[in-house]
Amino acid sequence: MDKGRAALNITAPENHVLDIWMREDGFAVPAAKTVPDPSPKKIVEPVIFFLCAVLMFACTRTPPPENYPGIVQSIIETFESRSSELNHYRLGHFYERLYRISGEPRYRVPLRKYSVTLAQTFRIQAENLQNAEFVRAREDRLLTPSPNASEKILRRIAHRKKWRGMLFANRLLFRAFQVKSYGLDKSALHENYETAMAWFRSLPFEDYLFDPGNILSDASHTVNAVFYLKFLGIADYEDPFTRAFKQAFPDAADASLDKTAYLNKIYGLTHFIIADSQFYQRKPDAAKHAWVLEYFAGHYDTIEARTNPDLLAELAICFKLAGQKNHPVVRRVQKYLAAAFDPKRGLIPSTLPDKSLNGLEHRNIVAVIALSGFDELFPGPLNEKLAARPAGAHRS
């Protein structure tokens, strides 16, 4: 008998005996042995029966892995084939993230178009900083909820009304962050960019950011603003703001938070890491954000029960950005997202009223990032054509 094998006799129909060898790995194979009756039918039938049983057993032991790359590709194909349905912002949001986790050159094409519109919008807004009517009109838009606005949006708007003037500034701050990310601060926008930087430095951002009402009603955007200001070299409030956030959302009070407040807290936590990565342009300092990751790992079951696919995807992204792509939280989120994926529609659907492609874009692009196997991040992309234009060049 071979080492590591055990013999097993199986009595087949008509009293034929079939020797089966059991290997150390647990798989059974028929031994080469002559049976008493050479009848092909009497030999083949039991062999086929047994091998089928072995095959079924093997399949139950080693289920096929989840097809995460297939889901990612399906989502990308769905949104690319229907890109005409996306508004300007959502189109840029989608392709910007695809580029930053892949460096794929073809994503530069739509982003060049996006950055041209970004440059035009930033120039117009920077030229109207002192135009009170212009600023008020844009803030009125920010304070007007859509017909399907969620409770989160309604609470945010209710609190924002006390911050007239800073609402426009906060929106322009985001555009300035994008302008610098695309290298447009060194372009013909240079004067507008520097004008905006000087204006930002004159504003009470510290009061705005540390207002507990802003943190409680709009945590993710408030966290973003902290990191925008740091990225742009205007002010560094990260450490004191982190303390203020923890005071606004003590872990011991989680159970008392309603659904909207709890979602707001978790979104804010994810953006400490995502915003610090400059939105997928670099790997953040994992040690600095260990408190966030520890909270996610220790409260995952509750987070899954109380939130949604968007937030869970961002949890996985946080661990991946921190260099922990094999963390159990990542694996659990990936299985959750795979189960939520609708293969017929080629995306992860929503139960919210807004079922348009614009309404589904965030959920699906963060799912793509969470399910992708990226190791490197790609900043920008720079719009070489616009960035190469010297200050004072003709503006079209």
Sign of the Cα torsion 253, 255, 259, 262 reads positive
- How crowded is the C-beta side of 133, counted as CA atoms within 13 Å? 0
Sign of the Cα torsion 228, 229, 234, 238 reads negative
Q: Which residues, other chains included, contact 144 with Cβ-Cβ below 8 Å and sequence gap of 6+?
A: none
Token reading at 316: 């996985």
Q: Which residues, other chains included, contact 142 with Cβ-Cβ below 8 Å and sequence gap of 6+?
A: 157, 160, 167, 168, 171
Cβ neighbours, 10 Å, residue 169: 22
Q: What phi and psi, each to the nearest 5 degrees, are found at residue 375?
A: -120, -25
Reported pTM = 0.81
**Domain definitions of the chain by residue range:** 6-61, 69-387
pLDDT by position in tens, the chain (length 396): 444 444 444 444 444 444 434 334 343 444 444 445 555 555 445 545 554 444 443 443 333 457 999 999 999 999 999 999 999 999 999 999 999 999 999 999 999 999 999 999 999 999 999 999 999 999 999 999 888 888 888 888 888 888 998 999 999 999 999 999 999 999 999 999 999 999 999 999 999 999 999 999 999 999 999 999 999 999 999 999 999 999 999 999 999 999 999 999 999 999 999 999 999 999 999 999 999 999 999 999 999 999 999 999 999 999 999 999 999 999 999 999 999 999 999 999 997 767 799 999 999 999 999 999 999 999 999 887 766 554 444 333
How far is residue 289 from each of residues 194, 282, 286, 313, measured CA to CA in Å?
32, 15, 5, 18
Token reading at 378: 């790609």
